[in-house]
Amino acid sequence: MSILVFGTTGQVSQELARRREGIIALGRDQADLSDPATCAKLITETDCQAVINAAAYTAVDKAESDEAMAALVNGAAPTAMAAACAAKGIPFVHISTDYVFDGTGDQPWMVNDLTAPLGAYGRTKLTGEEGVRAAGGTYGILRTSWVFSAHGNNFVKTMRRLGAERDRLTIVADQIGGPTAAGDIADACLAMADQLLADSGKSGTYHFAGGPDVSWADFAREIFAQSNLTPEVVDIPTSDFPTPAARPANSRMDCSTLETVFGITRPDWRVSLADVIKELSNDEA
């Protein structure tokens, strides 16, 4: 199956390109998401059987002062893409985020729970979700969290660097969520695209995150353990690490609907982390 993918340098887009023949990947030079009409035209003119949007404005703090651009990329672009897919009669898979919720409570977020983004990034991603649903085509929105891989900038790579440089690190311990490997997200997106092509009735919004849920501090401890690094990790509250954009304290997500509908089970992030660390170690050798 020929699949058009928006994004070439992001964590998930790189993993998608590794996994499937027939991936047509479009980078920013070909598909600038700040130009939604051009993105839609590319879908119309490309011979593909499904589209996956793996590109986004992900600079959470910068979005607070650049919301207009984030709204174009995260809101208007996927809306235009979904409309083009609907007109063409092909499925559209779109990656979203736990940031559409306000992070209150301590229970996993259900797909139909009330959304209430804390900042610009979450607001613009929610706008994109709403546009995809309103387009009227076959779609799968996949909300995920805490993405990591051997590519780009992410928490795992940062912790491995700092853990090798320092004896002591202070890390936030009151934000809880599910770290999710980009490779696992890519696998889920491809499975969704395949199944949506065969059954449009599976259209909907789904949650996908690694398990078990963990704090950033405990995630770091596991990274260090698997990397044979020994810095002391000191738990701190979010209030000790202020950022321009508020982060949700509770990013737990209930992933049961994805398993029920698509047969996609929640991955153990510790197993995926081992694969990522092995790749990073091989690259460093």
Domain ranges of the chain: 3-284
* pLDDT tens string 40-68: 999 999 999 999 999 999 999 999 999 99
pLDDT band at 20 (very low <50, low <70, confident <90, very high): confident
Residues in the chain: 285
User: Residues 71-97: what's their mean pLDDT?
Assistant: 98
> In which element (H, E) is residue 18 found?
helix 11-19
* pLDDT tens string 238-267: 999 899 999 999 999 999 999 999 999 999
Half-sphere exposure of 168 (CA within 13 A, CB side): 3
pLDDT exceeds cutoff 80 at 198: yes
* pLDDT tens string 145-177: 999 999 989 999 999 999 999 999 999 999 999
Q: What's residue 246's pLDDT?
A: 95
Catalytic choice (57, 99, 121, 139): 121
* CATH class of segment(s) 3-284: alpha beta
* pLDDT tens string 85-143: 999 999 999 999 999 999 999 999 999 999 999 999 999 999 999 999 999 999 999 99
**Global pTM value:** 0.96
Residue 121 annotated in active site: yes
N- to C-terminal Cα separation, the chain: 36
Q: What's residue 285's pLDDT?
A: 65
pLDDT band at 283 (very low <50, low <70, confident <90, very high): confident
Cα gap 228→35, rounded to integer Å: 45
What are the tokens at 55? 């590109």
